[in-house]
Structure 1
Amino acid sequence: MDALRLEWADGGPRLRTSEAMARQGLVTTVSTPAGTAAVVGWVGSARDRSAGAHALLDALGRRGATRPLPAGDYAAVLVCRDRILLTRDQQARVPLFFRASGGRVDAVSTSARGLGNATELDPRYFCRYLTGNAAQPHTDGTPFAGVHRVLGGEMVELSLTGQLRRRTPCPVRRATDRPAPAAEGARLGEAARELRLVLENAVGRRMGASTACHVSGGTDSTSVALLAARLLAEERIGSGNLVLLAGRFSRGELAEEQRYLDLALAEIRRLAPSARPVIVDADDVADFDDFQHHAGDADEPYAHAFRAPFWSRLHSEAAELGCDTLLTGCGADPVADANPFHLHRLARTGRLREMTEQARAWAAGSERGLRDVVRSYVVQPAVPLVAERFAALVRGGTVLGGLGTFNRPRWLRRGFARAHGYREAGVAESRFVFGRRPEQSLYDVANYLAAPDPLSWQRARQDGFFLSHPFLDPEVVATMSGLPLAATFRPGRPKAVLREAMADLLPAPIRGRAVKVPFDDLYARGLRIHGDELIALCRAARHPLIAEMFDVETLCRAVQEARLGMGDAYSWDRLNSSLALVAWLERLGQDTGARRPAVPVSAGS
């Protein structure tokens, strides 16, 4: 989807933006004597997008500026007097790509598909994509040869004629000044106050004139919605509308969530009586509904396209009510909980006795075995590929058996994997997921599992908003990553800091619950209903790369195994990614051509 496009004509840059998205406030263009900035999304505050765009231009328009990028969910092109800058926020919600050859950029767009050639694909990208569902947004490559991704928190500088000068990461934005450490016994309370402050700020920055909040009855989404309601009730961000968006299931496992949802809605409306609950009946929704549309129309292969039918229905309701931003509780599980990879830090620094004691506490608190905890958080981060290969040998025997994050799926042809660097891609991905310091890499991975959200981006023009995730705000992540384990870990009480931080707002049953019903029932129902269609899609696929890449019959057997409930979350992720890739390749080349944005923008004088 082209929200903006930069090209060169008559030796000079020509910047165009989408008229429809500009009317909706999704694209903001400002000009000053320093130049012109076109911003997709928002900078600083979702409520004043023009001021944020001016602030970004002021911060980056001057040569030699090294200030950290401001907070927000945005991608931006700045045409200055002597250079052109391309950048995205650190969380990389909004995509941005450029097409280059011989060191010269000839086009920039928010659409990789709009820049690429469907007949010139990069097989190395597909190997990287198939290593895991975090493997796309944090890498430079795209499916299309010659098309590159501007990375999150990166600054790409071009000359006015399009010569690529440099690509540099911007300074990391740190949390606001934190109070002095409290005494050992008060650490949980002090940590809770810090988290409450930065989370409240993150929610406030993201609230627009009409804000929707996902509400599921869980701790995370309910916390975000409660903070939004309190900010409105106390008029700390001015006036505005609040929509509470929820899906309702009257049968199956997810029906058990209804009582928690009712409690959450009642408490939110107690704070903000004008908040409007929108409850969407979702009994007739299943994963993989209209899968070829959701997976095939995405700008890049979309690993989570199977879940799009449920979220699309909710987003349509928010769009009909004119919401201009939608907040989720996404990211709280890894960010707001104690960091289990702290055990790896203890082991690599030789503190084995302390590691063993804490691993026992972790195992008791999570009802897992000590061996399982040590394997997951100490051994696997140290030798991830070896650990997965061993697990595949132990749990082999089926197509999905032992298939972890990096192992080659059995349906991916060995020759294709060897020719196009699958092992190298697996090594690179394992280094990203665990890194030299797995306890820090955890937060980067959490962000890229959630963002950018291809469904939100694909629907933005019709919905009028992007999803935004307060728990993944840079200040929230920086605060949580700086807290000691003693302040965050309470055996048997996940996300103890968040529960303490929200103690005055969360209803007691929600604050005390430790387990939330997952969406496994929705997935199983989808496979029962659509399994034959998915198998037929694979067998009827005609794109030449599919047969070159996949053993189709083995992929079909994996679908059959998943229908029978075999496998686990890791193997299902690998299956879902592969099915999405098949659907995406099949639809590729059927486009009638990307619609170009229609509003020309000239650089400021």
Structure 2
Amino acid sequence: MEALGLEWAEGAPKLWAAEAMARQGLVTTVSSPAGTAVVVGWVGSYRDRVAGARRLLDDFGPPGAAPPLPTGDYAAVLVCRDRILLMRDEQARIPLFFRKSGGRVSEVSTSARRLGDAAELEPRYFCRYLTGNMAQPHSELTPFAGVHRVLGGEVVELSLTGQLRGRGSRRARQADDPLSPESNGRGLSGAAKDLRLALENAVGRRMGEMTACHVSGGTDSTSVALLAARQSAAGQGDRRGLVLLAGRFGTGELAGEQPYLDEAMEEIRRHAPAARPVVVDVDDVADFDDFQRHAGDPDEPCAHAFRAPFWSRLHAAAAKLGCDILLTGCGADPIADANPLHLHGLARTGQLRQMTKQARAWAAGSERGLRDVVSAYVVQPTLPLAAERVTALVRRRGTVLGGLGTFARPPWLRPEFARAHDYREACLAESRFAFGRAPEQSLYDAANYLAAPDPFSWHHARQDGFFLSHPFLDPEVVATMRRLPADATFRPGRPKAVLREAMADLLPPGIHGRTVKVPFDEVYARGLRTHGEELMDLCRTARHPLVAEMFDVETLCRAVREAQLGVGNANSWDRVNSSLALVAWLERLDERCRVQGAAVPVIAGP
């Protein structure tokens, strides 16, 4: 989807913004003596998008200026008097790409497909994509040769004629750091106060004229919705609309979530009586419904396209009401919980006795064996690829999915393709990103890329009229949790202890005390039962030559069949889902052309 574009006419930059998205407030254009900026999304605060865009231009516009990046969900192009800057926030919700040849950038867009050529694909990208869910957004590679990604938290500098001058990462500024020097000694109570303040600020920055909050009945989404309800009721100078968006399952395992959903809705509306509950019946929704459209339409393959039918049903309801932003609880599981990879830090620094003691507590609290805990949080982060090979040898036993982990080559990816296009190097790069030298710190960066970039919701933003935003992935919230000591966050058998303490005065008792949620396994299984044959036919009849070159199709179909029967685990099913999405994306690639919608010229060449 194109929200902005930059190209050169007779050597002069020509910058434009999508007209429909500008009318919806999804794109903001500002000018000053320093230059012109087009911002997709928001900088600083959602409701003060224009002021935020002006501050961005004022900060970066002067010659030689290199300030830290502001907080927000944005991609921006700044045409200044002496240079051009391309940038994205650290959370990387909104994409930005450029086409480069011979050190010169010829085009910039939020759409990789717009810049790319379907006949010139980049096979190394597909190897990187197939290593796991995090591979796509933090890698510079795109599906198209010559098209590069501006990374999250990166600033790319060009000359006014498009020559690439440099690119570098910058951290977001933390203007209101909530952590005092005494935080490390205040235990759970002090940590909870820090998290509460950071989360309140994150929600406040994201409130719109008509804010939708996804409510599932879990601790995470209910916490966000409660904080939004309090701010909505307070008004802060105006009357804000609040929509509480939920999906209702009347049958099956997920019907067990209904009492929690009802309790959450009642408590949220107690704080904001004017909030409008919108509960959508989704009993007839299954994963993989209309899969070829959901997987084939986005600019890049989307590993989570199989879940798009559920989210599109909810998003359509929010769009019908005119919501301008949708807040979720995504990211809370790794961000707001105790960090299990702290065990790796203890082992790495020689504190083996302390590591063993805490590992036993983790095992008891999670009802797992000590060996499993040490393997997952100490051994695997140290030797991730070797650990996966050993697991595969022990557990495969004639199946395709048995023992298939996050990085190892799936059996249906042809070894000759993997060797030719650096699949092993992609696995190494991905494992280093996921674990790094200090896995307990890498966890937070990796968590962002599991939840934040969402090609499906981005692709539908123009028709829905809103962006998704995730308060738990706000830089202030992440910085707060990153700096808390393990003894302030870890409570055996009580996940997200800091968050529960932080929200103790707001969460209703049933949700405050619950530790287990019903997963979407039933929806996934029903989708495979319903669409399994159709998915295998898609693979067997695929016409794009790269499908046969890349995949052993019959082995992939066997993997789909095993997933139907419940063989494997979440990791192995994710690998199947990613591969199916790639097949569907390649099949629809030639159907999409480089068509530009109505645009508002911002800077036109002579």
Q: Distance in 1 between matches of 2:111 and 2:182?
A: 46
Q: Distance in 2 between matches of 1:212 and 1:53?
A: 23
Instruction: Name the SS for the 2:590 alignment partner.
Output: coil
| Residues 2 and 597, structure 1, Cα contact 8 Å, conserved in 2 | no
Q: Distance in 2 between matches of 1:172 and 1:29?
A: 22
Offset of 1:68 from its aligned partner?
1.4
In percent, how many aligned pairs have the same letter?
Answer: 75
Q: Deviations over 1:404-434 (max 9, x none)?
A: 0011000000000000000010000000000
Equivalence for 2:415 = 414
| Residues 6 and 108, structure 2, Cα contact 8 Å, conserved in 1 | yes
| Residues 88 and 153, structure 2, Cα contact 8 Å, conserved in 1 | yes
Q: Does 1:345 align with 2:359?
A: no
Q: Deviations over 1:552-579 (max 9, x none)?
A: 0000000000000111000000000000
Shifted more, 65-74 versus 588-597: the winner is 588-597
Offset of 1:237 from its aligned partner?
6.3
Q: Does 1:124 align with 2:124?
A: yes
Equivalence for 1:567 = 568
Q: Deviations over 1:129-169 (max 9, x none)?
A: 00001100001000000000000000000000000000011
| Residues 184 and 485, structure 2, Cα contact 8 Å, conserved in 1 | no
Q: Deviations over 1:463-513 (max 9, x none)?
A: 111100000000000000100011000000000000000000000110000
Equivalence for 1:520 = 521
Q: Deviations over 1:56-79 (max 9, x none)?
A: 101111223232111110000000
Offset of 1:190 from its aligned partner?
0.3
Q: Does 1:499 align with 2:496?
A: no
Equivalence for 1:509 = 510
Q: Does 1:206 align with 2:218?
A: no
- What TM-score do the two structures reach when normalised by structure 1? 0.98
Offset of 1:456 from its aligned partner?
1.2
5 Å-filtered alignment, 1:83-94, equals 83-94=83-94
5 Å-filtered alignment, 1:45-64, equals 45-64=45-64
Offset of 1:455 from its aligned partner?
1.3
Q: Deviations over 1:276-335 (max 9, x none)?
A: 000000000000000000000011000000000000000000000000000000000000
Q: Distance in 2 between matches of 1:404 and 1:17?
A: 42
Q: Distance in 2 between matches of 1:182 and 1:100?
A: 47
Q: Does 1:542 align with 2:554?
A: no
Equivalence for 2:399 = 398
Equivalence for 1:435 = 436
| Residues 47 and 209, structure 1, Cα contact 8 Å, conserved in 2 | yes
5 Å-filtered alignment, 1:443-482, equals 443-482=444-483
Q: Distance in 2 between matches of 1:178 and 1:399?
A: 48
| Residues 221 and 329, structure 1, Cα contact 8 Å, conserved in 2 | yes
Q: Distance in 1 between matches of 2:530 and 2:388?
A: 32
Q: Distance in 1 between matches of 2:183 and 2:404?
A: 45
| Residues 302 and 581, structure 1, Cα contact 8 Å, conserved in 2 | yes
| Residues 31 and 603, structure 1, Cα contact 8 Å, conserved in 2 | no
Offset of 1:596 from its aligned partner?
4.1
Equivalence for 2:256 = 256
5 Å-filtered alignment, 1:358-397, equals 358-396=358-396, 397=398
Instruction: Name the SS for the 1:189 alignment partner.
Output: helix
Q: Deviations over 1:199-241 (max 9, x none)?
A: 0000000010000000000000000000000112223363210
- What TM-score do the two structures reach when normalised by structure 2? 0.98
Offset of 1:182 from its aligned partner?
5.2
The amino acid that maps onto 1:570 is N
The amino acid that maps onto 1:178 is L
Q: Deviations over 1:98-143 (max 9, x none)?
A: 0000000000000000000000001000000000011000010000
Q: Distance in 2 between matches of 1:47 and 1:239?
A: 13
Equivalence for 1:75 = 75
| Residues 105 and 162, structure 1, Cα contact 8 Å, conserved in 2 | yes
Instruction: Name the SS for the 1:251 alignment partner.
Output: coil
Offset of 1:11 from its aligned partner?
1.0
The amino acid that maps onto 2:388 is E
Q: Does 1:42 align with 2:42?
A: yes
Q: Distance in 2 between matches of 1:117 and 1:219?
A: 45
| Residues 90 and 171, structure 2, Cα contact 8 Å, conserved in 1 | no
5 Å-filtered alignment, 1:65-464, equals 65-174=65-174, 176-181=177-182, 184=185, 186-236=186-236, 238-396=238-396, 397-464=398-465
Offset of 1:181 from its aligned partner?
1.8
Offset of 1:19 from its aligned partner?
0.3
State the aligned residue count.
603
Q: Distance in 2 between matches of 1:183 and 1:310?
A: 42
Q: Distance in 2 between matches of 1:505 and 1:597?
A: 46
The amino acid that maps onto 1:427 is L
Offset of 1:176 from its aligned partner?
1.0
| Residues 246 and 314, structure 1, Cα contact 8 Å, conserved in 2 | yes
The amino acid that maps onto 1:144 is F
| Residues 26 and 41, structure 1, Cα contact 8 Å, conserved in 2 | yes
Instruction: Name the SS for the 1:589 alignment partner.
Output: helix
